[in-house]
Structure 1
Amino acid sequence: MALRGIRFCKDCANILYAKEQYDNEGSNRNLIYSCRICEYTEKATKAEDYLVYHRQVRRLAEHVATDYKDYPLDPTLSRSINVSCPRCDHREAVLFHSEKEGGESGMRMTYVCTYRGEDGACGYSWQS
């Protein structure tokens, strides 16, 4: 969230707060900036005056290649002995939730094999 410029009261130098002001019939609304200390108000006149804050949403890349080789060494990740690695049949893996790829909503479970033998670490990862 990025705030636009902060406005200050011309009379007492306190912060001006944005609020709506209705006309006599109650059908039209105007944005005004009002001081909470004195009676000073100023009407928003330019288009950029109507923007109180701006929230910028960043999109993640469609597919982010991740190297999971160090994940089995992380003691803070959950571990499961109820899964079998599709590559080496080792019966232990670390697991964590991650977002689904391709703009799908929801989460997926990612598993990383913890096998570390004389011939090296498996480190194979798969999702469910």
Structure 2
Amino acid sequence: MLYPKEDRRERKLLFACRNCTHVEEADNTCVYSHTISHIPLEQTLVVIDLKSDPTFPRSKTECPKCSHMEAVFFQSRSKGADATMKLFFACCECNHRWTQVGGQGANTVA
């Protein structure tokens, strides 16, 4: 197995074996890359307590779960073939989340 190693004089990235003297020059200067991709619906579920965030606007929208009349809301554009703008709501009482797409009825998120 080859491990990253630096050639300080040449300022190059090398890969070297720890058991023998084998060394080879790296094709790319990136040693490790970790990318996390979320679908837009997952991104809305990342923030747990939306009701305590004062930056979100509030509306007198009825929660489909507990019928409370206050919810925070925000918009998010979905990616993919149906790149539509979705309006997300979160109940200020029970934290239930739902969406409203293009003025249509409520769709439960969580």
Give the TM-score taking structure 2 as reference length.
0.49
Larger radius of gyration: 1
